[in-house]
Amino acid sequence: MIDFETGVMLPADGKIERRLSQMKGVFADEKAYLACLEKEDSLVYEVYTSTPPEREGDLIYCTSVIYPGKVGDEFYMTKGHYHAKRGTSEVYLCVGGRGMLVLENPHGDSTVLDMYPGSMSYIPPFWAHRTVNTGSGPFIFIGVYPADAGHDYGTIEACGMMKLVLQRGGQTVVLDSQRASPKAGEGLS
């Protein structure tokens, strides 16, 4: 059962909590990050997940709940990752709130998709992905992906993603980050 109001999945085999303190280096404005953290180690997002055996042919399904908030003018978001097994894809179905899906690949292509209740988003193989809460309430979506996909966080941790999603003058804006394109060979495997 998934509660569409809260994103809570019952039963869930696992629950991951990501607080600000676990997201060092993720937000572009390091000074704003440290100031937020000093105030409170806020909960940024949670993931409720099923954990079947990590074998080819099985699927993992999970719900992610990103809470509303900002670090400086950058919205709360997930860390972002490539799947360790690069040729695996994923689908997201949004059930609550408003957000954006930031996608990029090692060839330097990047795109941003709107997510809203009822929207289904496809993450093709070989694309890194991050979700951003651009709304005022919890942003909730269901994800389904191959159980043997695994996660590579290191590639995105090393230099961030190419697009930033910010609030400027009350508007949501998408800007190119300082990092114009991936370093040679990065993210390729």
Residues of the shown chain interacting with Zn ion in the complex, contacts defined by CB under 5 A: 90
The span from the CA of 76 to the CA of 70, in Å, is 5
Instruction: From the list Zn ion, ligand S6P, none, pick the one residue 19 interacts with, judged by a Cβ distance below 5 to 8 Å according to partner type.
Output: none
Q: Which residue type occupies 72?
A: G
The span from the CA of 189 to the CA of 185, in Å, is 8
Asked if residue 143 binds ligand S6P (CB under 6 A), the reply is yes
Residue 14: is it exposed, middle or buried by C-beta count within 10 angstroms (0-12/13-18/19+)? Answer: exposed
* Choice between 90 and 104, CB closer to Zn ion: 90
Which of 42, 47, 156 lies closest to 106, judged by CA? 156
Asked if residue 99 binds ligand S6P (CB under 6 A), the reply is no
Among residues 145, 147, 161, 166, which is the contact residue for ligand S6P, using CB under 6 A? 145
Q: How far is the CB of 111 from Zn ion (least distance, A)?
A: 16
Q: How far is the CB of 169 from ligand S6P (least distance, A)?
A: 28
* Choice between 4 and 122, CB closer to Zn ion: 122
- Whether the Cβ atoms of residue 40 and residue 34 lie closer than 8 Å to each other: no
The span from the CA of 71 to the CA of 106, in Å, is 27
* Choice between 46 and 90, CB closer to Zn ion: 90
What are the backbone angles phi and psi of residue 56, rounded to the nearest 5°? -55, 135
| DSSP annotation of 20 | G
Q: How far is the CB of 166 from ligand S6P (least distance, A)?
A: 19
Instruction: Tell me the window of 72-80, 106-114, 159-167, 179-187 that interacts with ligand S6P (CB under 6 A).
Output: 72-80
Asked if residue 165 binds ligand S6P (CB under 6 A), the reply is no
Asked if residue 85 binds ligand S6P (CB under 6 A), the reply is no
